[in-house]
Structure 1
Amino acid sequence: MRALVLPASGEQPTFAELPVPTPGAGEVLLRVRAAALNPLDNHIAAGALEQMFEHRYPLVLGRDASGVVEAVGEGVDDVAVGDEVLGHVLFEPPFQAGTVAEYAIVPARTVVPKPADLDHVTAAALPLAGGAARMVVDAINPQPGQVVLVNGASGGVGRYAVQLLSQLGLTVVATAAPADAERLRELGATEVVDFTAGSVAEQVRTAHPDGVDALINLAGYTLAEVPLDAVRSAGVVCTTTQVPDADTLAARQLSGGGVIASPTRDVIAPLAEQAAKGELQVDVYRVLPLDQAPDGLAELAAGRARGKIVVDLSL
């Protein structure tokens, strides 16, 4: 099978011909129809996680896929050969299996039937980004009447988070460049703060002098990039970038912490049903053939993607 791989530590992603893998116990082999790209793929490719998790090479990139069940491992009885499904490779060691390939192994506990009203490209864009959004929204324990700031709202996770918060009737303040403002309002943002126009925290405090009740931080890998000063005392912060840490939050009389998204079936299935009913919009920014998958990773790394980039293996 053809796959986008890291041949060895420190090397650049390239295409390789690999044997079709065999699913083990609790695993599902998919014939991939579409695979989404995520910022996590670039972190893995850059070796940023090698000190945290075992990596086995050649390592196939990609975490999300939609496709057709080709085979199932021992103990898998939730899906059968021929089923159309979507699934996700969990954030668990060892890192080797991936989805930007003609075939992919995914844990059965992340695999859900693909609703008939979802095409494969749309379905592939859901698991990690949608699951991360669901998890960060739940982590802040939102309450009626609250104001929540989503920093990094124009990315894949942010667009889902804005919708999920809006569905709860909250006031959603989203950070984005001007080009993304109209779409974020369509998705449910009450206010959009232009992060290119100066301090986000100062802009938010101008509109909300007492500060927002919670911050969902999806962008910024240094403390200076995270608008903590926008949050009121005793507010809640949830971050996917692992910044700020617990000590920093405690020093500012804030609670919360980091979330590492590893969405399983119970998280992914409701999102897929919402998307199929039109209750959750899936913003696919670009669809690429397999040969152009590296271009998609480069676009993500450059921060130019406005929504999800999906590799369509039928192209």
Structure 2
Amino acid sequence: MARITAGIGCSHIPVLGFAFDHRRTEEPIFKPAFDGFSWTRDWLREKATPDIVILVYNDHASAFDMKVIPTFAIGCGERFLPADEGFGPRPVPTVEGHPDLAWHIAQSLILDEFDMTIINEMEVDHGLTVPLSMMFGAVERWPVKVIPLAVNVVTYPPPSGNRCWALGEAIARAVENFPEDLDVQVWGTGGMSHQLQGPRAGLINPEWDNRFLDRLAGDTQELRTIPHIEYLRETGSEGIEMVMWLIMRGALGRSTRALHRHYHVPVSNTALGHIVLEPVDGSVPPSATLEGNDPTAQALIA
């Protein structure tokens, strides 16, 4: 069966993509930010490259706009082209999907009472491609298949941290029930503290950010109860992106161990966070909505 072996949290700051694409990663202004990804690139290359990454990110008006705002959307297509965000598409490989697992996850989540939007064609922007560049460097082809999972953290109301954590748990159940032998990782992207507009533009809160990173490891579930207003007050209007990290954390089971951690400020006008986690006990949370109640749904998921 498929299994989730690790989770990665990573900011998807667009200037990192700019510096990477223009070969400026060794410049003093950028080097400290990029150095923190060296451990992860070595780890992935030498012993931990998965078959598939479920990559949780938010779209920045590339695939969606104010006409259509899905709370959760899963990409089930065979490939996803880099988006043109105003300066032409990033010079990175096309993202190759895994429709079989993506459709299985979509079916499982919907039967698990998550209302997913299914997307077969879309372009993916820096929210998804920057983390791939940070983890794999310059490659002709991404070494993994990617299932994009887009979350609305741009327009009110975004999903709660608790709902995101629960979605991660439901993803873990779906992956465990997929019969093919696959190594799967879940990546949560976005954040950390930053605000891009208004009187508090440039806000960064290292103390809060690092406390958030602390609580991703271990067996605490404190992060799932943080209210929206705390993210807004303590981490700026864009800090709400961190709820996407909770989808990754929820998918890893009851307890985790941090393998690597990196935090740097400032990058552009935001804080950069990065963490690599592994599940400690490999446990998959039981379904609160299906277990023992709906044999037909259980059979469909299996």
Q: Please, what TM-score do these two structures have when normalized by structure 1? A: 0.25
Q: Which has the higher helix share?
A: 2
Q: Which has the higher strand share?
A: 1
Q: Please, what TM-score do these two structures have when normalized by structure 2? A: 0.26
Higher relative contact order (CA 8 A, sep 6+): 2
